Amino acid sequence: MKYLLLFLSLFSIVSCQSEPKKILIVVTNQSDLVGTGLKTGYYLPEVSHPYYKFKKAGLLVDFASPKGGVAPMDPKSLDLKDPLNKKFYENKELMGQLKNTLSLKNVNPKEYKAIVFAGGHGTMWDFADSEAVSKVSREIYESGGVVAAVCHGPAALVNIKLSNGDYLIKGKKVTGFTNVEEDIVELSKFMPFMLEDKLKERGAKFESANAWNEKVVVDGRIVTGQNPASASELGSKIVELLK
């Protein structure tokens, strides 16, 4: 009998150890670029590039948004000459998940080892003030998980507070879509806030590369990328932290 119990105990340990880790990719619900008459949403390569890094590493991925349901894609990001965009966009199952995302308020943070905020201008309207964004991110981080964001995705980080009342990014090295890049695309005057400025206001140590160049910053378990060109490397850095 004792050998049977020992076997079952060892089997349970092995099963737990072999269970794949899960990552939550969060995208925006915002479809309008307010004040412009233009459409916005999540930026496809900032989803597709990290996603395939995670899949290659054997990680499981769920998709969520602040409200749940349909997550619109920024039409400017639909570049099917990009092979990973094409592969992702033509996968009906994946695109179906983005049309029926999980609502963050219904997500169990204990299931995930990392939360990743994809960018797109839409995030500037629905990430920063979402209580669910802050709650889920804080619980994942304080449980030893990774919090990551790319391009405009760091809008999610500006109001996250830890249990001790400090901002998550206070004193941390981060990056994100820069003021210079926002000026280049001529959208600064339409933004509810300038992302670079707000990150600095929260006490973050903002780092950046020249406009449109790849830049990924890792500070402990916080990983940020500056722009779409940084999405793939962001995925790689998250995979390294989860090994």
pLDDT tens, position by position, 6-44: 444 544 444 445 689 999 999 999 999 999 999 999 999
CATH placement of domain 19-241? 3.40.50.880
Q: Residues 46, 181, 182, 233: which is the catalytic one? A: 182
pLDDT > 60? residue 205: yes
What does each C-alpha distance from 200 to 17, 52, 159, 175, 228 come to in angstroms?
Answer: 40, 31, 12, 10, 21
What the block records as the tokens of 91 is 């996968």
Cα separation, 178 vs 180, in Å, equals 5
In this predicted model, what pLDDT tens digit does every residue of 36-69 receive, in sequence order? 999 999 999 999 999 999 999 999 999 999 999 9
What the block records as the tokens of 76 is 């400017």
59: DSSP letter: -
Write down the pLDDT at residue 178: 98
CA 157, 159, 162, 167: dihedral to nearest 10 degrees? 90
Write down the pLDDT at residue 191: 98
Of the two residues 4 and 106, the one the predictor is more confident about is: 106
How many residues belong to the chain?
Answer: 243
Q: What is the DSSP string of 154-221?
A: GGGGTT-B-TTS-BTTTT-EE--S-HHHHHHTT-GGGSSS-HHHHHHHTT-EE---STTS--EEEETT
Write down the pLDDT at residue 19: 82
Examine the residue annotation and report whether 182 is marked as an active-site residue of this protein: yes
As a whole-number percent, the residues of the chain with pLDDT over 90 amount to: 92
Alpha helices in the chain (DSSP H): 2-18, 45-56, 83-89, 92-98, 123-126, 131-142, 179-184, 195-201, 231-241
Helix (H, G, I), strand (E, B) or coil at 39: strand
Cα separation, 13 vs 20, in Å, equals 14
Query: From its phi and psi, is residue 145 left (phi > 0), alpha (psi between -120 and 50) or beta?
Result: beta
In this predicted model, what pLDDT tens digit does every residue of 184-199 receive, in sequence order? 999 999 999 999 999 9
pLDDT > 50? residue 225: yes
Listed by start position, the domains of the chain span 19-241
What the block records as the tokens of 148 is 């990551």
Q: Residues 46, 49, 121, 151: which is the catalytic one? A: 151
Write down the pLDDT at residue 82: 98
Mean pLDDT of the residues in the chain: 94
Write down the pLDDT at residue 17: 52
Q: Residues 46, 121, 152, 196: which is the catalytic one? A: 152
